[in-house]
Every structure is written in structure tokens, then in C-alpha cells.
Amino acid sequence: MYARKLVRRLWGEEVHDALVIASGVPSVYRIGDVGNQTVYDYAMQFRDVVNMPGGAMNTWFDSFFRGNRDNEKRSTEGSTLQVLNLMNDGFTVGKSRVSGTGATASLASRAITGTTDEQLVSTLYISALSRYPTDAEKAAAYAYLSNSANGTRAQKAEDLLWALYNKVDFFFNY
């Protein structure tokens, strides 16, 4: 009966939560009236998926064609706007930055501390894509990390993590 799993594109809320969990950088949303606010850490906790306050994040979620849970089915189609949001939106870019220390350190910050390039690449791949890099991916990552023209090690780690967040592997459920 379950011979295989069907691959599907993740919903906007699932991509949001995957970025939050993979990066280790929390997002907090306070929704409701001033005296009666509910605090959410993850987008999948939202009571309703449409008409949420939040401006830019609302636009980000809308690019993933969300339905309304009542009478409008979600679309699984991809779009250029989804790709542009994943590449350029401050939310995605912020999750790939080296930030915080100790328990509040981002994935990029934890990955560059006291690690070799091999450990850095493996840590980023496992955390972002739940798999080890292929030989070709390792070679490309090592070449990028060893090139002194690409900036500091922290900037290179941020760029690599940003690239992993924008791989097709990241926003599909395999």
C-alpha cells in the first residue's frame, strides 16, 4: 500500500518553519489585540493562514499560494516570486547570517566556531538538507571556502548556507 512517498513542494508555512529550525534563529509573532495577544514561534501554529498581520511576511506567505482551510485548496505550483523571496527576502537572508553567541547562536555561527572546512561543509549540509554533500558538492564548497577573494570565513559560511536554503532539495518534501 505504501510502496513510495510522493514528492511535494512544501507550503509557505513549512518553508518558514524549516528555515527557523535549520538556522536556529527564532521568529516570534504576536497576533491579536493588545490585551489579548497570542505568541507563535512557528508559522504552522497560526490559527488561520490568510489575513494574518505582518506586512512583509504576509506577502512572503502569499507567494506560496496558500489556501484558506475552508473552501480554497492550496496550490502546489511553483512561481518566480517564490524563488525571488527565497533568494532575496530579508527573512531568508537573515536566517543565513552569522549571529548570536552561546545558546542563541545561529547555525552559521555555531558551524564556523573551531571547525575545519570539511566539518563546516558537513554540518551545514546535514542541518539544512538532512544529508551529507556529494563529492561534487564537497569539491565546489571546498574550492569556494579556500578562495581568499570571497571574503572572510564567516561570509563564506553565510553564502554557502544561503545557497543550501535555495536548493531545490530544501523546499521539497522527499
The H or E element spanning position 29 is strand 29-32
> Average pLDDT for residues 48-75, to the nearest whole number?
72
Identity of the residue numbered 99: S
- pLDDT tens for 26-49 read 888 777 766 677 788 888 877 766
With H, G, I as helix, E, B as strand and everything else as coil, classify residue 63.
coil
pLDDT for res 41: 85
With H, G, I as helix, E, B as strand and everything else as coil, classify residue 52.
coil
pLDDT for res 31: 73
pLDDT for res 164: 94
The overall average pLDDT reported for the chain is: 84
Identity of the residue numbered 123: T
Cβ count near 125 (within 10 Å): 22
pTM (2 d.p.): 0.84
Contact of 43 with 13, CB cutoff 8 Å:
yes
Lowest-confidence segment of 10-14, 69-73, 116-120, 158-162 by average pLDDT: 69-73
Best CA proximity match to 106, nearest among 25, 17, 21, 165: 25
- pLDDT tens for 112-167 read 888 899 999 999 999 999 999 999 999 999 999 998 887 889 999 999 999 999 99
With H, G, I as helix, E, B as strand and everything else as coil, classify residue 53.
coil
